[in-house]
Amino acid sequence: MATRPRLSEIERWERETFGRIPERDAPFSTISGEPVKPLYGVGDLPVDLEEAVGLPGEFPFTRGVYGSMYRGRLWTMRQFAGFGTAQETNRRFRYLLEHGQTGLSTAFDMPSLMGHDSDDLRSLGEVGREGVAVDTVLDMEALFAGIPLDRVSVSMTINAPAPIMLAFYVVAAERRGIGPERLAGTIQTDILKEYIAQKEWCFPVDPAMRLVTDMIEWCAGRMPRWHPISISGYHIREAGSTAAQELAFTLKDGLTYVEQALARGLQVDSFAPRLSFFFNAHIDFFEEIAKYRAARRIWARELRETFGARDQRSLLMRFHTQTAGVSLTAQQPLNNIVRTAIEALAGVLGGTQSLHTNSFDEALALPTEQAVRVALRTQQIIAEETGVTNTIDPLGGSYFIEALTDRLEAQAYEYFAKIDQLGGMVQAVKQGYPQREIADAAFRYQQELESGLRKLVGVNSYTEGSEQPTPILRIDPAFETDQVERVREARARRDGPAAEAALAGLAAAAREPRENLMPFLLDAARAHATEGEIVRSLQGVFGSYTESPAF
């Protein structure tokens, strides 16, 4: 390696400076526990800066996936919403569109995420609580009533039952005369991170991976404007991971979906352009920006060099960002507006394609309309007032940012190697490896907080005795009763034998490993089979999943 005289110049500076003035008592490390030097210089830049950083829209895409970035088009402001019944969420969607939001994002309730109908005993108390309840295609129709599905892009945050919800959505659009080729949006579908972090599953790992691949395959031919999967680090981070773990596990999950689709016989360029990502924007500003930049570079390299992608669009790591729910505090909740603004800015400086900003009251309950409006306005202020969108990747070339980007990239490859030693990500997940790594990181952070090493304003420093109560959103328990009625009525009114035949057809297809299940799910949706019935019929073939409870 070439000698780097300027680095030793920094060392001299550091000795002289801190020899005279001691450093204050603070950790001087990122929230992930990575040490940070007092000063970075030329010697911290990659040796081949031009090659490692490049230009926006050009390999390795470190500086952005598109050439024009925000000078061409701003990111999509996409606030996640959903609660109560489909009609209620439909009203919130229209409200958001009227206030300048440019895409929709659907939150489902816990029973929908876990594949239970609203009248299932296990759904008691959970219907419409954390998102919208969708039991049949009729609910999906009500959810998007009056919304131009061929013009608004729609995101759905659901994983284990994603193929079922996509079937509901496609059939709901079909009934309005909108073909699947005109539907734009994203469905999350990332089941690996469910086993790793979010823990909402319906089936064991292998059949769940088959369902994901069935969907990717089906969408590759028919839904050119649809992203069949959003490979998500968000929940990995929320579960307490470090930035490097979020980056590494998410990209490894993504590479695993690519391998599975290739094993199915698909050509990489037939589906890779439709893969998208979803990352967290945590409070450690520079580490987050570096994480997105590293992610783009790794993905482009792996797709081109490992999988031989030729279509440039296959190389683009496009991503949605959400600010960190876990960084919000119940204490002094207005402070959360500031946290969210800083996190959102990190997402923008990191080149995100779409963004959700959390509302300040979310450590207490689902957000009120006022809190949601402030969150959306935060994005609009960043976009329209701050000037940060004038130039592309404004932090590119910063000694510190480039050094962090390199370090995160190297840490991701270290994790890739460990996971490969365990036999790949599916095996690693079955062995609980990423789950343990995350739990350890979460515990370490909590200890740092409690020892006072890390400060959290309003929680372990600058606390206030008594606080003004914050008005919160209350979910009317009547939603649950209404929705239970709706699903029962849907079952009573449909052509019963047709629904049973569709479910039987689905189960038979599930027994044939080479059969793509999407057409059978569409038939079940058209026959008004409920989500719970569809999941039960698949579980009859696939079985269900229980995690061994370790801590």
Partner 1 sequence: MTARQKKIRVVVAKPGLDGHDRGAKIIARALRDAGMEVIYTGLHQTPEQIVETVIQEDADAVGLSILSGAHMTLVPRIMQLLAEQGADDVVVTLGGTIPSDDIAELKQLGVAEVFTPGAPTQQAIDFIRGAVRA
Cβ partners under 8 Å of residue 381, min gap 6? 341
Write out the E strands in 369-475. Answer: none
Q: What is the token pair recorded at 451?
A: 């020892």
Per residue in 334-351, is it b (16+ CB within 10 Å) or e — as a string?
ebbbebbbbbbbbbbbbb
End-to-end CA distance of the chain: 45
Instruction: Decide: helix, strand or coil at residue 372.
Output: helix
- Which of residues 364, 382, 502, 529 is near partner 1 by CB under 8 A? 364
Nearer to partner 1, 235 or 293 (CB): 235
Q: What is the DSSP letter of 198?
A: I
Nearer to partner 1, 298 or 328 (CB): 328
Distance (Å, whole) CA 146 – CA 169 = 14
Nearer to partner 1, 523 or 531 (CB): 531
Nearer to partner 1, 198 or 250 (CB): 198
Q: C-beta of 527: minimal distance to partner 1 in Å? A: 26
Nearer to partner 1, 124 or 410 (CB): 124
Q: C-beta of 535: minimal distance to partner 1 in Å? A: 13
Nearer to partner 1, 36 or 475 (CB): 475
- Which of residues 30, 76, 123, 157 is near partner 1 by CB under 8 A? 123
- Per-residue binding letters, 45-84, with partner 1 (x by CB under 8 A): ----------------------------------------
Residue among 512, 516, 513, 533 nearest 524 (CA): 533
Q: What are phi and psi of 164, to 5 degrees?
A: -70, -45
- Which of residues 384, 414, 450, 512 is near partner 1 by CB under 8 A? 450
- Which of residues 192, 247, 345, 366 is near partner 1 by CB under 8 A? 366
- Which of residues 260, 331, 380, 389 is near partner 1 by CB under 8 A? 331
Residue among 472, 478, 474, 491 nearest 530 (CA): 491
Q: C-beta of 240: minimal distance to partner 1 in Å? A: 5
Binding residues among 395-434 for partner 1 as defined by CB under 8 A: none
Residue among 502, 551, 520 nearest 218 (CA): 520
Q: C-beta of 550: minimal distance to partner 1 in Å? A: 8
Helix (H) or strand (E) holding 71: helix 69-72
Q: What is the token pair recorded at 90?
A: 């439909």
Is 462 a binding residue for partner 1 by CB under 8 A? The answer is no
Q: What is the token pair recorded at 292?
A: 């997105």
Distance (Å, whole) CA 535 – CA 517 = 12
Rg of the chain over CA atoms, in angstroms?
A: 24
Is 442 a binding residue for partner 1 by CB under 8 A? The answer is yes
Q: What is the token pair recorded at 441?
A: 């990181």
Residue among 399, 376, 293 nearest 79 (CA): 376
- Which of residues 36, 388, 456, 541 is near partner 1 by CB under 8 A? 456
Is 119 a binding residue for partner 1 by CB under 8 A? The answer is no
- Which of residues 184, 449, 453, 541 is near partner 1 by CB under 8 A? 449
Is 110 a binding residue for partner 1 by CB under 8 A? The answer is yes
Give the bridge partners for 461, in sequence order. 457
Residue among 240, 216, 214, 241 nearest 229 (CA): 216
Is 129 a binding residue for partner 1 by CB under 8 A? The answer is yes
Is 163 a binding residue for partner 1 by CB under 8 A? The answer is no
Is 113 a binding residue for partner 1 by CB under 8 A? The answer is yes
Is 116 a binding residue for partner 1 by CB under 8 A? The answer is yes
Q: C-beta of 460: minimal distance to partner 1 in Å? A: 7
Distance (Å, whole) CA 275 – CA 288 = 21
Choose the stretch contacting partner 1; rule: CB under 8 A; options: 125-133, 285-293, 389-397, 518-526: 125-133
CB atoms under 10 Å from CB of 427, counted, come to: 14
CA 430, 435, 437 angle in degrees (round to 5)?
125
- Which of residues 53, 114, 484, 522 is near partner 1 by CB under 8 A? 114
Is 472 a binding residue for partner 1 by CB under 8 A? The answer is yes
- Per-residue binding letters, 178-217, with partner 1 (x by CB under 8 A): ----------------x---xxx-----------------
Distance (Å, whole) CA 67 – CA 392 = 9
Residues in contact with partner 1, counted by CB under 8 A, come to a total of 48
Binding residues among 215-244 for partner 1 as defined by CB under 8 A: 238-240
Q: C-beta of 77: minimal distance to partner 1 in Å? A: 25
Is 330 a binding residue for partner 1 by CB under 8 A? The answer is yes
Q: What is the DSSP letter of 315?
A: G
Is 329 a binding residue for partner 1 by CB under 8 A? The answer is yes
Nearer to partner 1, 208 or 216 (CB): 208
Phi-psi region of 465 (alpha: psi -120 to 50; beta: other; left: phi over 0): alpha
Q: What is the largest CA-CA distance in the chain?
A: 85
- Which of residues 363, 388, 501, 541 is near partner 1 by CB under 8 A? 363
Cβ partners under 8 Å of residue 346, min gap 6? 281, 282, 285, 286, 288, 289
Choose the stretch contacting partner 1; rule: CB under 8 A; options: 121-129, 136-144, 163-171, 315-323: 121-129
Q: C-beta of 192: minimal distance to partner 1 in Å? A: 14
Residues 16, 20, 23, 29, Cα dihedral to 10°: 0
Nearer to partner 1, 258 or 371 (CB): 371
Residues that bind partner 1 (CB under 8 A): 110-111, 113-114, 116, 121-126, 129-130, 194, 198-200, 238-240, 326, 328-331, 363-366, 439, 442-443, 446, 449-450, 456, 458-460, 469, 472, 475, 546-551
